[in-house]
Structure 1
Amino acid sequence: MEKSSLLLAGALLLLPLLVLLRNAATKRSRRLPPGPPAVPLFGNLLWLRNSAADVEPLLLGLFKQYGPIALIRDGVALSDRPRAATSSLLGVTDNIITRANYGPVWRLLRRNLVSETLNHARVKQFAPARAWVRRVLLEKLREEENPNVMEAFQYSMFCLLVLMCFGERLDEPAVRAIEEAERAWLIYISRKLTVFFFLPCVSRHLFRDRLRVAHELRMRQRSLFVPLIEARREYKRLGRQAPEKETTFQHSYVDTLLDVTLPDEGNRPLTNDEIVALCSEFLNAGTDTTSTGLQWIMAELVKNPAVQEKLHAEIQATCRGENEEEEEVSEEKIEGNKMPYLKAVILEGLRKHPPGHFVLPHKAAQDMDVGGYLVPKGATVNFMVAEMGRDEKEWGETAMEFVPERFLEEGGSKLAAVDVYGTKGIKMMPFGVGRRICAGLSIAMLHLEYFVANMVKEFEWKEVPGQEVDFAEKREFTTVMAKPLRPRLVPRRD
């Protein structure tokens, strides 16, 4: 009797493994795409030795070995997100725009962000905030003869996004505290938590110290954000009776989140933890990417003085008043096609140096056939954004050169039709494409154009002997310059 029981138990234990092996064999017969080695039940072994920062050279090796696989259609089937093991291990909510699966919660949160905070009218309301941040940025750049401009960009963008998020213009120590907390969290999860992709039920015990540190970093975020959220809740409660302060704005992203309810969960409001996660997402999406884009674009202008002078000439011609030059390049001056060369410079910077070399990973919602390969349901799919923008087959022999004119029509007076939305064909996708395209694309372009124009108007950006521009890359949360840009800034005005 005992022998029969043991045999039955053994069969029951082996059955799931046999099913997995059979399914794996079936899928192999249907030609899975090439990829890193994986073991049934355990997953990809590369995460034991590599962090997320190492994935690009690994995928580039596969790309060179097997060639590209085109993927343009079937947007709905690739609109889900793979669930990170760290979400359940850390108790982090998936109710945020970048991590929620394609469904009602995602649509609700994205619609709220776009219609209530990123629509044209709301963005215009924050014009005084951008003017204030422009002054903050220029002051930071004047502090040193050869400033580390990336530090100035990051701080300035945090000033702006913190104000947009919480509706309050905070002082420098408060902004610095939020900046440090966000950066520590992002860098830690990208470098230290990928080990949990491999058999989480075991790795959670082997690497419990990493989970402890991650919990502490998350609690640090919460301790900084919750008081600001509660202050905004009180501001909304008081309404017109709220005391007027010069540092307080009438609208903020948090205001909209306090009004969101989840219909599928009894119309409950968002919890503070969910609002903290959404605020963190808002700050990270609008600061690191923009500051990284600014650094690469300004580095190219330092290295290509003829391009910089052509841009400055357009700025001068557009902004010169009847009697004297205006103090700033106003947002009205960069709207429409008034400054086509500025827009071409920004697009060329994003083509050659996209801040994210990958968009956030997608997940196949069903088995798909792509280029003769099976992409099985549940598979993670990545898009190599940088390789698209640098592909000589699409961009010619000058693909690795900085040539803004490629985005202008013949004669240079008008911006050529550029499809960065992926509606006709994908030649570059710095903001992603399709249903999961970056919700902040328009405001990101506005910020890049506004701050680049004003920095070029204010200073001539020159290379410093011994501090030459080096275009070597380093992966952090975004892909940054391995050697930070330190130019010499010559004021153009007394």
Structure 2
Amino acid sequence: MDIWLLILLSLSFATALSLLLHHATKKKRLPPGPPAVPIIGNLFWLRRSFQEVETILRELHAQYGPIVTLHVGSRPAIFISDRTLAHRALVEHGATFSDRTPQLPALRFLGRDHLISAAAYGPLWRLLRRNLISEILHSSRVKVYAHGRAWVLQVLSNHLRSQAASNDAGAVTAVESFQFAMFCLLVLMCFGEKLDEKAIKDIEIAQKSLLLYSNKLNVLAFAPRISRYVFRDRINTVLQMRQRQEELFVPLIRARKEFKKQQQRQKSEEERFVYSYVDSLLDIELSEEGGRRLTEREIVALCSEFLNAGTDTTSTALQWIMANLVKHQDIQSKLREEIEGAVGSDAQEIKEEDLQKMPYLKAVIKEGLRRHPPGHFVLPHTVTEDVVLDGYLIPRGASINFMVAEMGWDGKVWEEPMEFKPERFLAGGSGEGVDITGSKEIKMMPFGVGRRICPGIGLAMLHLECFVANLVKEFEWKPVEGEEVDLSEKPEFTVVMKNPLRACILPRTKI
């Protein structure tokens, strides 16, 4: 009798333990996804490219739900398309979801650990981000660059006029002019110098070459211990590109060091800027590393990050917005009427304080960012420890990706989400009062959300409003005869127009 009781108790305990373990395993399994092979990952990468990732993900989300797992090599990558889940992760549990995926050993020479966008969530990241926000992106600092914005707008206007005058139709392919103008402004803010066009072009070429080539390093995620040797030539190419970057940046950095020692310049007050991003970086002391200063190589990397983050995203957004104004002449006319009503037809330039009187302009900018976010994904996050989200295990070290475009196109939030309708952001529209920082609720997140939100959100919005308003004030933008504006997309560093905008520009006649 005692033996049977012991056996019964043992079976009961084993059954209870099994049920508990099964429940724990079920509760903590990875989000669903297609089958994967150890080390290699999902086999469809062998026949589908990374360029097709969004198409693949839409198919997988339709099959598996709003949170899915892919495997790129041996590392899981989790993709979230649901705005409620994104808010829960990035805002409600922001501290946990604010880390970055560790750098591949083969790419540690890039020094990404000391970049704001890539640094681990901790003291170094806080120091670098706080420096950027308080020293360069603070509203009081941004105002100092008003003369710089006026200069760059003139540069842009001259480029467009010259291009239009070079052909009978008056047509321009605007994207290169947009990129160059924005790059001029960021170089000025970064190095504190109005460099000549050749110097700016040299830096721009070096930046873009490295940025576009870095996509070829994605292959190192597959079996990294092997691929780092198989693709050694790619690593060597990137090293050469970094060397070219240093050749261009280091003399400018040393010039700022010398200027800080002398505390004076020979240029007039209107021609110089008393403070630059480099100046702020030269003052940083890394308390976690014995109070040392940043090395020149680390400053080069941070300057490169600053230029990339502020140039391509903003110029891409600017092109998408102007493309829609060309395609929708009624929206352009309405915006032109608001501009004239706010500043008059004789105004030489729309200034920062004028922008506050233009609600329709702000609606146009927001609709452009909703419909055509420059980045369809935010930079991958990871968690500081294993956590459970929506019943699934999110393991430490996994890449967690949030699908920005899908959230901005959610038909449950936005009526006719694929249409360009700025009115939705005005009184009575579904986007009235929308908070693009997503602090209370995510309806769109073009700059990310939570603790890792883009620190340059305010500057980007100012630049977009300033450039769009002045471009519409100065020129009438019309389709090229016989051509339609093609809004097809192509992924590069940002998601750009597959066929760059071509438009006829006609200088506005003053009344």
Same fold (TM over 0.5): yes
- Report the CA distance shift for 1:221/1:37 in structure 2 as closer, same or farther (over 3 A): farther
- Report the CA distance shift for 1:258/1:106 in structure 2 as closer, same or farther (over 3 A): same
Paired residues of 2:27 and 2:393 also in contact (CA < 8 A): no
Deviation at 1:30, TM superposition (A): 3.3
Deviation at 1:486, TM superposition (A): 0.4
Taking the aligned partners of 1:48 and 1:176, their CA distance within structure 2 comes to 38
Deviation at 1:217, TM superposition (A): 1.1
Partner of residue 128 from structure 2, selected from 100, 109, 129:
109
One-letter code of the match for 2:458? S
1:65 maps to what in 2?
Answer: 63
Alignment partner of 1:158 is 2:158:
no
Paired residues of 2:39 and 2:222 also in contact (CA < 8 A): no
1:20 maps to what in 2?
Answer: none
- Report the CA distance shift for 1:312/1:268 in structure 2 as closer, same or farther (over 3 A): same
1:399 maps to what in 2?
Answer: 417
Partner of residue 186 from structure 1, selected from 211, 215, 219:
211
Deviation at 1:376, TM superposition (A): 1.6
Paired residues of 1:474 and 1:480 also in contact (CA < 8 A): yes
Deviation at 1:467, TM superposition (A): 2.9
Alignment partner of 1:483 is 2:499:
yes
1:177 maps to what in 2?
Answer: 202
Cα shift readout 1:334-366 (whole Å, capped 9, x = no counterpart): 13xx11000000000000000000010001222
Deviation at 1:226, TM superposition (A): 0.6
1:368 maps to what in 2?
Answer: 387
1:340 maps to what in 2?
Answer: 359
- Report the CA distance shift for 1:361/1:201 in structure 2 as closer, same or farther (over 3 A): same
Cα shift readout 1:172-194 (whole Å, capped 9, x = no counterpart): 1111111111111111112x111
1:19 maps to what in 2?
Answer: none
- Report the CA distance shift for 1:111/1:45 in structure 2 as closer, same or farther (over 3 A): farther
One-letter code of the match for 1:55? V
Alignment partner of 1:82 is 2:101:
yes
- Report the CA distance shift for 1:48/1:86 in structure 2 as closer, same or farther (over 3 A): farther
Alignment partner of 1:260 is 2:284:
yes
Cα shift readout 1:262-305 (whole Å, capped 9, x = no counterpart): 00101000001110110001000000000000000001111111
Identical counterparts, % of pairs: 57
Alignment partner of 1:148 is 2:173:
yes
Gaps of 5+ in 2: 1-20, 68-84, 165-169
Taking the aligned partners of 2:172 and 2:25, their CA distance within structure 1 comes to 55
Taking the aligned partners of 2:153 and 2:494, their CA distance within structure 1 comes to 23
Taking the aligned partners of 1:485 and 1:311, their CA distance within structure 2 comes to 19
Partner of 1:219: helix, strand, or coil?
Answer: helix
Taking the aligned partners of 2:262 and 2:43, their CA distance within structure 1 comes to 55
Alignment partner of 1:168 is 2:168:
no
1:310 maps to what in 2?
Answer: 334
1:474 maps to what in 2?
Answer: 490
Alignment partner of 1:353 is 2:395:
no
Partner of residue 208 from structure 1, selected from 205, 215, 232:
232
Taking the aligned partners of 2:55 and 2:230, their CA distance within structure 1 comes to 27
Aligned length: 460
Gaps of 5+ in 1: 1-22
Deviation at 1:87, TM superposition (A): 6.3
Cα shift readout 1:410-457 (whole Å, capped 9, x = no counterpart): 4x9xx9311111111111000000000000000000000000000000
Taking the aligned partners of 1:365 and 1:45, their CA distance within structure 2 comes to 29
Deviation at 1:86, TM superposition (A): 6.4
Taking the aligned partners of 1:91 and 1:462, their CA distance within structure 2 comes to 44
Paired residues of 2:342 and 2:354 also in contact (CA < 8 A): yes
Taking the aligned partners of 1:219 and 1:47, their CA distance within structure 2 comes to 32
One-letter code of the match for 1:399? P
Alignment partner of 1:451 is 2:467:
yes
> TM-score with structure 1 length normalisation?
0.89
One-letter code of the match for 2:505? L
Deviation at 1:27, TM superposition (A): 6.0
- Report the CA distance shift for 1:490/1:426 in structure 2 as closer, same or farther (over 3 A): same
Cα shift readout 1:215-271 (whole Å, capped 9, x = no counterpart): 11111111111111111111111113x333565321100000000010010100000
One-letter code of the match for 2:408? G
Taking the aligned partners of 1:197 and 1:440, their CA distance within structure 2 comes to 29
- Report the CA distance shift for 1:171/1:28 in structure 2 as closer, same or farther (over 3 A): farther
Paired residues of 1:51 and 1:194 also in contact (CA < 8 A): no
Taking the aligned partners of 1:354 and 1:287, their CA distance within structure 2 comes to 14
Cα shift readout 1:57-83 (whole Å, capped 9, x = no counterpart): 232221222232423222111101112
Deviation at 1:329, TM superposition (A): 1.1
Deviation at 1:214, TM superposition (A): 1.0
Taking the aligned partners of 1:319 and 1:330, their CA distance within structure 2 comes to 9
Taking the aligned partners of 1:44 and 1:94, their CA distance within structure 2 comes to 28
2:14 maps to what in 1?
Answer: none
Paired residues of 2:116 and 2:128 also in contact (CA < 8 A): yes
- Report the CA distance shift for 1:243/1:440 in structure 2 as closer, same or farther (over 3 A): same
Q: CA RMSD in A?
A: 2.1
- Report the CA distance shift for 1:109/1:148 in structure 2 as closer, same or farther (over 3 A): same
Cα shift readout 1:361-393 (whole Å, capped 9, x = no counterpart): 001222222222221222111010001111111
Q: Please give the residue correspondences for 1:432-451 in structure 2 after superposition, counting only pairs within 5 Å.
A: 432-451=448-467
1:273 maps to what in 2?
Answer: 297
1:462 maps to what in 2?
Answer: 478
- Report the CA distance shift for 1:169/1:363 in structure 2 as closer, same or farther (over 3 A): same
Taking the aligned partners of 2:339 and 2:226, their CA distance within structure 1 comes to 59
2:267 maps to what in 1?
Answer: 244
Deviation at 1:51, TM superposition (A): 5.7
Partner of 1:115: helix, strand, or coil?
Answer: helix
> TM-score with structure 2 length normalisation?
0.86
1:408 maps to what in 2?
Answer: 426
Paired residues of 1:165 and 1:279 also in contact (CA < 8 A): yes
Paired residues of 2:106 and 2:228 also in contact (CA < 8 A): no
- Report the CA distance shift for 1:382/1:224 in structure 2 as closer, same or farther (over 3 A): same
Alignment partner of 1:326 is 2:333:
no
Deviation at 1:37, TM superposition (A): 4.8
